[in-house]
Amino acid sequence: MKHVVLLVALAACSRQKDVTLTSATLDASAAPPVTELARAWDRAMSQRDLTLLGPLYADEVTFYDVPLRRDQVIRVQSDAFMKDPSFTEKLLSVRATSPTRVEMKREWFRFGKKQTGTVWLEGERAGDQWLVTAEGARAPTGDFCDQLATDVALSTGEAKALVEGPPDHVRAVLAATPPEFPGYGVALIAQANGAPATAEWIDVEPCTFYSPGPNVKTDPGACVPPGLATGAVTNVFTGAVLGPDPKLVTQLSKCR
């Protein structure tokens, strides 16, 4: 009788083990499509290929907590690629936290310096494909440099015309910060037909506000590596170079 009980117990354990393995296999094979969307996004980013990146975004995207159209997202990404030719990235891990959201630990190079961090994407099905509807990373800390970069952007004539004139409900949001981006991205958001819309994305690059000096290889004031950042405060959507308050620019030169 003891032998019979033992055999029954072993058989039960064996069946339980098979169920567990089968469940694991099914879980792996049923990985959310958003994970493949994330891998496609990484391939496009690592190759700096806007022709691959553009079709991955939905018509409307919440990009670093800012409402952007697809064409505006691509302008921001294109501007970042242009201002840092050293940029590339690769995924270290991918984890779906829900059927529509994925977190990616990645490694990337910003001005030749290796960085590591996490970025997340949200997606949704559109017809027979999945598209990115939201993207983000760590939130700005709101420290001295973050606030100063916002003040620099708001000191430009274009920003003043929007913030101080109609519509009177324009707000500024610091959306992007180094090292995720080459510089600080300040979005000016207004209400359009009852919904928020980003009117301008002003890019502020602290690296370009100080001289590399006579010896760019050893001067501690140089950009690293020197010569890659293009300089200036710019309206990313139009490409216009803006004129900020020079006193604020001098202060921001310490944020590097």
Q: What mean pLDDT comes out for the span 6-34?
A: 46
Report yes or no on 7 lying in a domain.
no
* Low-confidence winner among 103-117, 127-141, 155-169 (lowest mean pLDDT): 155-169
Report yes or no on 20 lying in a domain.
no
The answer on 113 and 171 residing in a single domain is no
Taking only the tens place, the pLDDT of each residue in 87-124 is 999 999 999 999 999 999 999 998 888 999 999 999 99
Domain CATH for 68: 3.10.450.50
Residue with the bigger pLDDT between 226 and 107: it is 107
The single-letter code of the amino acid at 107 is E
The residue among 88, 109, 136 that closes a domain is 136
The predicted pLDDT at position 166 comes to 63
Report yes or no on 6 lying in a domain.
no
Q: What mean pLDDT comes out for the span 242-250?
A: 86
Q: Could you give the 3-state DSSP secondary structure of residue 168?
A: coil
The answer on 155 and 112 residing in a single domain is no
The answer on 168 and 92 residing in a single domain is no
The answer on 118 and 86 residing in a single domain is yes
Contact indicator for 85, 228 with CB cutoff of 8 Å: yes
CA distance 161 to 232: 19
Report yes or no on 174 lying in a domain.
yes
The residue among 104, 136, 168 that closes a domain is 136
Q: Which of 65, 39, 33 is nearest to 52 (CA)?
A: 39
Q: What mean pLDDT comes out for the span 52-57?
A: 97
- Whole-prediction pTM: 0.79
Residue 195 has pLDDT above 70, yes or no: yes
Question: What does pLDDT average to over the chain?
Answer: 80
Look-up: residue for tokens 């694991």? 24
The whole-angstrom distance between residue 236's C-alpha and the CA centroid of its chain comes to 15
Taking only the tens place, the pLDDT of each residue in 1-18 is 544 444 444 444 444 433
Contact indicator for 90, 111 with CB cutoff of 8 Å: no
Confidence of residue 192 (pLDDT cuts 50, 70, 90): confident
The answer on 164 and 124 residing in a single domain is no
Report yes or no on 10 lying in a domain.
no
**What range does the domain containing 96 cover?**
33-136
Residue 74 has pLDDT above 80, yes or no: yes
The predicted pLDDT at position 221 comes to 42
Report yes or no on 24 lying in a domain.
no
The answer on 98 and 184 residing in a single domain is no
| Percent residues over pLDDT 70 in the chain | 76
The answer on 106 and 149 residing in a single domain is no
Q: Per-residue DSSP letters for 112-161?
A: TEEEEEEEEEEEEEETTEEEEEEEE-SPP---HHHHHHHHHHHTSHHHHH
The residue among 136, 154, 188 that closes a domain is 136
Q: Which of 127, 134, 135, 121 is nearest to 37 (CA)?
A: 121
* Low-confidence winner among 94-98, 206-210, 214-218 (lowest mean pLDDT): 214-218
